[in-house]
């Protein structure tokens, strides 16, 4: 890629996002991940399940020539899952049944039927639809759901299409897609953590955070103030990238432990937040 900061565009697809029925957490997660890997997200948009709308945005992205384009949503078995139709039209790569993708879908339904989650493993037309990929695409194994992710390795702008269910999207990015991201960014491990501290004065935390930054420059650490006053608790955000997710997590844990030691010395209580908080 031509710059030290690869450029990325992200399109989250689904009528439910635009109706406000579902909150788009996928884009924020991808932004944190890709920024942490050294990328620069230059554009992100919410799109309806409309082929022409998706096609128009993708054609615009291909004209802008970012280093990567991500889509999330619209890969499922129903009629309104239309992302790959739009990709095929925007790229001139017609949809065709991909043998490997079909094997992935078949294996998932076999497992689901064996577990009693679906009545039959039969590859019905809606199920086979999830194996229709743009010509030249590579399926990405989905260990959580059924629909494979899709990598269309166009140059200079590859397209990566991911499911809209956050657990599926993350599992593909951290699993099947990780080697490709490492080849594009030089690393593919990302970890993050949020901490809540019993302190309403960000200036009191500043020297403690600066000490952690000095000790562990590989870790991004930032306090986030929302208000002043008694009972206010500040959030601390950590993120790190490395060659593997395990190495990135180890850096985060080291930073967390050191900060907790500093907070304890200062008489400041803290707690770790779940990913949903």
Instruction: Give dist(CA 109, CA 146) in Å, integer.
Output: 8
Instruction: Give dist(CA 81, CA 77) in Å, integer.
Output: 7
Q: Is 14 left (phi over 0), alpha (psi -120 to 50) or beta?
A: left
Query: What pLDDT was estimated at residue 1?
Result: 45
Mean pLDDT confidence for 71-96: 97
Better pLDDT: 224 or 183 = 183
Does pLDDT of 160 surpass 90?
Answer: yes
Does pLDDT of 262 surpass 60?
Answer: yes
Cis peptide before 220 (omega within 30 of 0): no
Question: 221 has which bridge partners?
Answer: 238
Band of residue 245 on the pLDDT scale cut at 50, 70, 90 = confident
Nearest Cα to Cα of residue 90 among 115, 116, 109, 71: 71
What's this model's pTM, rounded to 2 decimal places?
Answer: 0.75
Nearest Cα to Cα of residue 9 among 54, 42, 53, 31: 42
Q: Tell me which H or E stretch contains 227.
A: none
**Mean pLDDT score across all residues of the chain:** 91
Query: What pLDDT was estimated at residue 201?
Result: 82
Mean pLDDT confidence for 56-73: 98
Beta-strand ranges (E) seen in 28-144 are: 40-47, 68-72, 95-97, 132-134, 138-140
């Amino acid at each position: 890629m031509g710059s030290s900061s690869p450029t990325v565009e992200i399109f989250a697809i689904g009528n439910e996002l635009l109706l406000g029925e579902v909150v788009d957490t996928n884009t924020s997660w991808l932004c944190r991940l890709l920024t942490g890997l050294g990328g620069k997200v230059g554009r992100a948009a919410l799109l309806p399940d409309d082929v022409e709308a998706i096609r128009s945005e993708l054609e615009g992205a291909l004209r802008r020539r970012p280093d990567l384009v991500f889509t999330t949503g619209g890969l499922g078995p129903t009629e309104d899952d239309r992302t790959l139709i739009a990709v095929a039209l925007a790229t001139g790569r017609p949809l065709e049944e991909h043998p490997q993708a079909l094997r992935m879908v078949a294996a998932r339904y076999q497992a689901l039927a064996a577990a009693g989650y679906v009545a039959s493993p039969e590859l019905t037309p809606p199920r086979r639809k999830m194996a229709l990929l743009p010509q030249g695409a590579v399926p990405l194994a989905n260990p959580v759901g059924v629909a494979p992710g899709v990598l269309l390795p166009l140059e200079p702008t590859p397209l990566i299409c991911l499911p809209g269910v956050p657990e599926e999207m993350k599992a593909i990015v951290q699993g099947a897609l990780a080697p490709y991201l490492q080849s594009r960014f030089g690393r593919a491990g990302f970890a993050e953590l949020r901490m809540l501290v019993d302190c309403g004065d960000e200036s009191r935390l500043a020297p403690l955070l600066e000490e952690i930054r000095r000790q562990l420059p590989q870790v991004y650490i930032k306090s986030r103030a929302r208000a002043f006053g008694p009972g206010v608790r500040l959030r601390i955000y950590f993120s790190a990238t490395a060659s593997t997710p395990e190495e990135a997590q180890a850096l985060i844990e080291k930073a967390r432990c050191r900060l907790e030691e500093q907070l304890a010395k200062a008489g400041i209580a803290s707690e770790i937040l779940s990913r949903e908080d």
